[in-house]
Amino acid sequence: MKSKILNVSFNEDFSKKSYNIHIGTDLILNPKIILRKFIEKRKIIIIHDSYFSLQDNKNKYLYKFVESIKEYSSNVYLLSIPGGDKTKDIFHLNKLIENILSFEIDRESLIIAFGGGVVGDIAGFVSAIILRGINFVQVPTTLLSQVDSSIGGKTGINSKIGKNLIGAFHQPLAVISDMNVLESLPKREFNAGLAEVIKYGLIKDISFFEWLEKEYKDIIRLNQLKLQTIVTKSCEIKAEIVKNDEKEKGERALLNLGHTFAHAIEYFGNHDGRIIHGEAVSIGICLALKFSYFLGFCREEDLKRVANLFEKFNLPTSFNNFKNLSLSSAKLIERFKFDKKNKQNQLTFILNKGIGKSFVHNNVDINDLTQFLDKEI
């Protein structure tokens, strides 16, 4: 299968910042071709998900990756951190920073994030702040990180107050998305990634949404060609949005469809694995669609169609699946107040005027929201 190279460039940045996303197979086994110019004679720090280890005889991805990098740099350091949102905290951030500084790095050193969205977000944030910013490369190993978190330059960690509240915009030098590495991903994690994929269709591409409806059986079977199409299409849609609005002053907020609800659900789930990000997004998107219908913006048949697609991938679509979180409308609205999209104490939600037509809805009426949530919980 031929690999694809997508270029992401930023219109608002006069320094003409841009980078390539490499999407294909067998890329991790031989990354030196893509990375040579970034790694030659530099100190390389690979922050990797502890799922991968050099000693693993079955899963050789990290081992082969490191061997290939070592052909161009003799100073390669590895730091391992667990996946899962609990790792994205100030404690792990501090530990990474102190370790990396002990390697006597300089501003030419390069960090490589090798793992899912959690590793990518925290390693990206370390790169953004260490020595006031050094370069980094993303090697996403989950579907969610390949289609979403590895591109667009949002990096960060969670605070006790809420998710992703500490961070920086810091773009990678390159992204390497290898379809092969997804083979070991647990089904639940794979499905969670699909929630973000469906999101892109819902935001602005009804034909992609329809393609997902048509191809779902092949997708479930991990057909590599279909997977590559999913990753490529998702990256294209995201890149198109972020290139015009890198720092989220406008259109980029659309990528948050379902996320106001999702982040609140994750908060009450205590990031303990009962609900993972993509599952919370799946519920969040269905709620955003239902809320759009409640306010008269979309049709009932749209809701059914959307929930149907999520269900095909075994994703949760309502609070029913999570009764044990003992949520209430008041508790949820309290959480919504911490959302980064809000301005001047007014709540903002991303809603839909139909499939493929998301929009930013400012100044949401608390009474409407309470009435809606009381019905849903």
Ligand X SMILES: NC(=O)c1ccc[n+]([C@@H]2O[C@H](COP(=O)([O-])OP(=O)(O)OC[C@H]3O[C@@H](n4cnc5c(N)ncnc54)[C@H](O)[C@@H]3O)[C@@H](O)[C@H]2O)c1
Quick check: 164 binds ligand X (CB under 6 A)? yes
Q: Which of 286, 278, 271 is nearest to 319 (CA)?
A: 286
Among 112, 185, 239, 298, contact with ligand X (rule: CB under 6 A): 185
Asked about 40 being catalytic, the answer comes back as no
**For residue 136, what are the β-bridge partners?**
111
Which ranges of 205-223 would DSSP assign to H, the alpha helix?
Answer: 206-220
Cβ proximity to ligand X, 68 vs 191, nearer residue:
191
Site for ligand X in 320-359 (CB under 6 A): none
Asked about 240 being catalytic, the answer comes back as no
Window of 20-28, 179-187, 243-251, 300-308 that interacts with ligand X by CB under 6 A? 179-187
Amino acid sitting at position 85: D
| Residue linked to tokens 């905290």 | 89
Asked about 337 being catalytic, the answer comes back as no
Quick check: 121 binds ligand X (CB under 6 A)? yes
We find the least distance from the C-beta atom of residue 106 to ligand X, in angstroms, to be 26
Q: Which of 186, 111, 92 is nearest to 141 (CA)?
A: 186
Q: How would you list the strands of the sheet with 4-9, edge to edge?
A: 4-9, 18-24, 174-178, 135-140, 110-115, 44-49, 76-81
Q: Token pair for residue 18?
A: 């841009």
Asked about 196 being catalytic, the answer comes back as yes
Q: Which of 48, 263, 290, 335 is catalytic?
A: 263
Quick check: 69 binds ligand X (CB under 6 A)? no
Q: Token pair for residue 364?
A: 């949401």
Site for ligand X in 142-161 (CB under 6 A): 142, 144-145, 148-149, 152, 154
For residue 323, what is the DSSP state?
A: G
Site for ligand X in 81-120 (CB under 6 A): 83-85, 88, 115-119
Q: Which of 196, 246, 266, 376 is catalytic?
A: 196
Q: Are 85 and 158 in contact (CB under 8 A)?
A: yes
Asked about 107 being catalytic, the answer comes back as no
Which ranges of 132-182 would DSSP assign to H, the alpha helix?
Answer: 143-144
What residues make contact with ligand X under the rule CB under 6 A? 49, 51, 83-85, 88, 115-119, 121, 141-142, 144-145, 148-149, 152, 154, 164, 181, 184-185, 189, 192, 277-278
Residues with active-site annotation: 132, 154, 196, 238, 248, 252, 256, 259, 263, 277
